[in-house]
């Protein structure tokens, strides 16, 4: 019978990071047992991790046949530095996309 009870558990990045890999989701499972009846309850939840966005801004007029500077902004949400990251611009009329190492 009531009252309903809420339990909060924190999962830190250092706990789940080794298990994420290249995936962008976590599968959480919670299970409980009722002592009086021996009944087992379980529930699963898939949590999609948000991918940080890139923001692109033209820094001048875009004119056919002329170069244009573009500012790219990315904020690393992780508590550790990124390594081996690169950006590559692709699009119509860009003959050879050149990666920029970060």
pLDDT for res 37: 93
Does residue 53 carry a pLDDT above 80?
yes
Alpha helices in the chain (DSSP H): 13-20
pLDDT for res 58: 93
CB 71 within 8 A of CB 56: yes
How many Å apart are CA 89 and CA 98, to the nearest integer?
Answer: 7
How many Å apart are CA 62 and CA 68, to the nearest integer?
Answer: 6
Over the stretch 64-76, which tens digit does the pLDDT of each residue have?
A: 888 888 898 988 8
Per-domain residue ranges for the chain? 13-48
């Amino acid at each position: 019978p009531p009252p309903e009870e809420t339990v909060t558990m924190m999962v830190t990045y250092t706990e789940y990071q080794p298990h994420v890999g290249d995936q962008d989701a976590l599968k959480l499972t919670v299970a409980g047992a009722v002592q009086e009846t021996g009944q087992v309850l379980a529930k699963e939840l898939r949590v999609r991790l948000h991918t940080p966005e890139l923001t692109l801004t033209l820094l001048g007029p875009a004119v056919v046949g002329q170069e244009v500077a573009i500012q790219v902004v990315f904020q690393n949400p992780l508590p550790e530095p990124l390594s081996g990251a690169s950006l590559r611009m692709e699009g119509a009329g860009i003959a050879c996309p050149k990666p920029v190492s970060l």
